[in-house]
Structure 1
Amino acid sequence: MTTQNLLVELFVEELPPKALKKLGESFAHVLADSLKAQGLASASSVVTPYASPRRLAVHVSAVAAQAADKAVSQKLMPVAVGLDAAGSATPALLKKLQALGADASAVAGLKRAPDGKAEALFFESTVQGATLAEGLQKALNDSISKLPIPKVMSYQLESGCELPGWSSVSFVRPAHGLVALHGAEVVPVQALGLQAGSSTQGHRFEAAVSPVVLKDADSYAVQLEQQGAVISSFAERRAEIARQLAAAAAQVGGGCKPIDDDALLDEVTALVERPNVLICEFEPQFLEVPQECLILTMKANQKYFPLLDAAGKLTNKFLVVSNIQPDDASFVIGGNERVVRPRLADAKFFFDQDRKKTLASRVESLGKVVYHNKLGTQGERVERVRAIAKAIATQLGDTALVQQADLAAQLAKTDLVTDMVGEFPELQGIMGGYYALNDGLGEVVAQAIEDHYKPRFAGDSLPRSQVGLVVALADKLETLVGMFGIGNLPTGDKDPFALRRHALGVIRMLTEADLPLELPQLLTAAQPAFGAKITDASAALLDFFYDRLAGSLREQGYSSQEVDAVLALRPARLGDVAKRLAAVRAFAALPESAALAAANKRIGNILKKSDGDVDAHVSLVLLQEPAEKGLYEAMQTVSPQSLAQWQAGDYTASLQTLAALRPQVDAFFEDVMVNAEQLDLRLNRLGLLKSLHIAMNRVADLSRLA
Structure 2
Amino acid sequence: MSSNNLLVELFVEELPPKVLKKLGDSFAGTILEVLKAQALTGESSTATAYASPRRLAVHITAVSSQAEDKAVSQKLMPVTVGLDANGNATPALVKKLNALGADESAFSKLKRENDGKADILFYDALVKGASLSEGLQKAVEEALSKLPIPKVMTYQLGDGWESVNFVRPAHGLVALHGNTVVPLSVLGLQSSNHTQGHRFEASVSPVVIKDADSYEAQMQNEGAVIPSFDARRAEIVRQLTAAAQKQNLKPIEDDALLDEVTALVERPNVLLGQFETEFLEVPQECLILTMKANQKYFPLLDANDKLTNKFLIVSNISPADPFKVVDGNERVVRPRLADAKFFFDQDRKKTLASRLSGLEKVVYHNKLGTQAERSKRVSDLAKAIASKIGDANLATKAEQAAQLSKVDLLTDMVGEFPELQGIMGRYYAQHEKLDNDIAFAIEDHYKPRFAGDELPRSIVGIAVAIADKLETLVGLFSIGEKPTGDKDPFALRRQALGIIRMLIECKLNISFETIIDLALQQFKVEDKAGVLAAITEFCFDRLSVNLREQGASAQEVDAVLALNPSLLSEIPKRLEAVRAFSSLDEAPALAAANKRVGNILKKIEGNVEAKINDALLQEPAEKALASTLAKIKPEADALFESGDYTNSLKALAALKAPVDDFFDNVMVNADDPALKANRQGLLATLHQAMNRVADLSKLAA
Q: Which TM-score band applies after superposition, normalised by the shorter structure?
A: over 0.9
What is the match of residue 170 of structure 2?
A: 175
| Structure 2 CA distance for partners of 1:637 and 1:406, relative to 1, 3 Å | same
**Which residue in 1 is equivalent to 2:655?**
661
Q: Does 1:464 align with 2:470?
A: no
In the alignment, which residue of structure 2 is the partner of 1:640?
Answer: 634
Query: How many angstroms apart in 2 are the aligned matches of 1:131 and 1:6?
Result: 14
Secondary structure of the 2:521 match is helix
Instruction: Give the letter for the 2:368 counterpart.
Output: L
Q: Could you list the per-position Cα deviations for residues 321-370 of structure 1 after superposition, in whole angstroms to 9, with x for gaps in the alignment?
A: 00000000111111111111111111111111111111111111111111
Whole-angstrom CA distance in 2 between matches of 1:487 and 1:450: 30
Instruction: Report the CA distance between 1:689 and its aligned residue.
Output: 0.6
Kept in 2: contact 1:8–1:180 (CA 8 A): yes
- Measured against aligned partners, the alpha-carbon deviations of 1:504-555 in whole angstroms (never above 9, x if no partner) come to 1001100000000111111011112123599661111111100110111011
Q: Which residue of 1 aligns with 2:644?
A: 650
Tell me, in whole angstroms, the C-alpha distance in 2 between the residues paired with 1:537 and 1:490: 14
* Contact 1:19–1:150 under 8 Å retained in 2: no
For the pair 1:508 / 2:508, whether they are aligned, the reply is no
1:577 aligned partner: 571
Residue 587 of structure 2 contacts residue 653 of structure 2 at CA under 8 Å; is this kept in 1?
yes
| Partner in structure 2 of residue 366 of structure 1 | 359
CA contact (8 A) 2:152 2:166 kept: yes
Q: Which runs of 4+ in 1 moved over 6 A?
A: none
Is the contact made by 2:408 and 2:421 (CA closer than 8 Å) also made in structure 1?
yes
2:137 is aligned with 1:144: no
Q: Equivalent residue for 1:201?
A: 196
Question: In the aligned structure 2, how far is the partner of 1:93 from the partner of 1:691?
Answer: 75
Of 260, 270, 274, the match for 2:263: 270
Instruction: State the AA in 2 paired with 1:482.
Output: G
Structure 1 length as normaliser, TM-score? 0.97
Query: Is this contact kept in 1: 2:298–2:312, CA < 8 A?
Result: yes
SS at match of 2:482: coil
Q: Deviations over 1:167-213 (max 9, x none)?
A: 11111001111111111111111111111111100000001001111
Contact 2:621 / 2:662 at 8 angstroms: preserved in 1? yes
Report the Cα distance in structure 1 between the residues aligned to 2:553 and 2:23, rounded to whole angstroms: 37
Structure-2 residue corresponding to 1:626: 620
Letter in 1 for 2:35: L
User: Which residue in 2 is equivalent to 1:550?
Assistant: 544
RMSD: 1.3
Distance change in 2, residues 1:475/1:273 (3 Å): same
The more displaced of 96-105 and 318-327 is 96-105
Q: Is the 8 A contact 2:401 2:439 kept in 1?
A: yes
Deviation at 1:613, TM superposition (A): 1.9
One-letter amino acid of the counterpart of residue 120, structure 2:
A
Any unmatched runs of 5+ in structure 1?
161-165
Question: CA offset at residue 84 of structure 1?
Answer: 4.4
In the aligned structure 2, how far is the partner of 1:96 from the partner of 1:64?
A: 32
Measure the CA separation in 2 of the matches of 1:479 and 1:5.
57
* Counterpart check, 1:606 vs 2:600: yes
CA distance in 2, matches of 1:178, 1:558: 52
The whole-number CA distance in structure 2 between the counterparts of 1:246 and 1:533 is 61
Query: How far does residue 85 in structure 1 lie from its aligned partner after superposition?
Result: 5.1
**Is 1:427 matched with 2:420?**
yes
Q: How many Å separate the matches in 2 of 1:349 and 1:96? A: 79
Residue 91 of structure 1: CA displacement? 4.1
| 1:455 pairs with one of 420, 435, 448 | 448
Q: For residue 105 of structure 1, what is the amino acid of its counterpart?
A: S
- Matched ranges for 1:40-51 at <5 A: 40-51=40-51
CA deviations on 1:1-38 (whole Å, 9 max, x unpaired) are 43011111110000010010100100110011000000
- Residue 77 of structure 1, CA deviation: 1.3
C-alpha distance after superposition, 1:652-676 (max 9, x if no partner): 0100001111000010011011112
Q: CA deviation at 1:677?
A: 2.1
Correspondence 1:83 to 2:83: yes
Choose from 552, 568, 590 the match for 1:596: 590
Distance 1:533 1:225, change over 3 A: farther
Q: Tell me which of 463, 476, 479 is aligned to 2:469.
A: 476
Asked if structure 2 preserves the Cα contact closer than 8 Å seen for 1:304 and 1:321, the reply is yes
Deviation at 1:572, TM superposition (A): 1.1
Amino acid at match of 1:56: L
In 2, Cα distance between equivalents of 1:692 and 1:93: 73
Structure 1 residue aligned with 2:689: 695
User: Are the aligned partners of 1:374 and 1:533 in contact in 2 as well (CA < 8 Å)?
Assistant: no
| Alignment correspondent of 1:566 | 560
Q: How does 1:114-513 map to 2 (within 5 A)?
A: 114-159=114-159, 167-253=162-248, 256-513=249-506
Q: How many Å apart are 1:374 and its aligned residue?
A: 0.4
Q: How far has the Cα of 1:386 moved from its partner?
A: 0.9
Q: Counterparts of 2:385 and 2:634 in 1: how far apart (Å)?
A: 34
Letter paired with 1:292: E
Counterpart of 1:681 (choices 675, 681, 686) is: 675
Separation in 2, partners of 1:131, 1:699:
67
Q: Secondary structure at the match of 1:71?
A: strand
CA contact (8 A) 2:287 2:337 kept: yes
CA distance in 1, matches of 2:654, 2:256: 56
Q: Matched residues in 1 for 2:105 and 2:412: separation?
A: 86
CA contact (8 A) 1:358 1:439 kept: yes
**Stretch deviating more after TM superposition (493-502 or 348-357):** 493-502
Could you tell me how far apart the structure 2 residues matched to 1:56 and 1:90 are? Answer: 53
Residue equivalent to 1:17? 17
CA offset at residue 235 of structure 1? 0.5
Any idea what SS the aligned residue of 2:522 has? helix
For 2:62, the aligned partner's letter is: A
Code of the aligned partner of 1:281: Q
How big is each residue's C-alpha offset from its partner over 1:81-136, in whole Å with a ceiling of 9 and x where there is no partner? 33345544444333433333334433332222221322211100000001111100
Indicate which of 599, 613, 617 corresponds to 2:611. 617
Per-residue deviation, residues 625-671 of structure 1 (Å, max 9, x unmatched): 10000000000010011011111111001000011110000100110
Mapped to 2, the partners of 1:584 and 1:381 lie a distance apart of 41
Match of 1:163 in 2: none
Percentage identity across aligned positions? 67
For 1:463, the aligned partner's letter is P
**Amino acid corresponding to residue 117 of structure 2 in structure 1:** K
- TM-score normalized by the length of structure 2: 0.98
Matching residue of 2:59: 59
CA distance in 2, matches of 1:704, 1:257: 53
Distance 1:537 1:678, change over 3 A: same
Describe the superposition over 1:460-515 as per-residue Cα deviations: whole angstroms up to 9, x where unpaired. 11111111100000000000000111111112222221111111100110000000
Where do 1:85-100 residues align within 5 Å?
87-100=87-100
Looking at structure 2, the residues matched to 106 and 311 of structure 1 have their Cα atoms a distance apart, in angstroms, of 83
User: Alignment partner of 1:537: what SS?
Assistant: helix
Number of aligned positions between the proteins = 699
Does structure 2 retain, via aligned residues, the 8 Å contact 1:396–1:516?
yes
Distance 2:334 2:285 in 1: 16
Judge conservation of contact 2:2–2:66 (CA < 8 Å) in 1. no
Q: What amino acid maps onto 1:446 in structure 2?
A: A
Shift of 1:398: 1.3
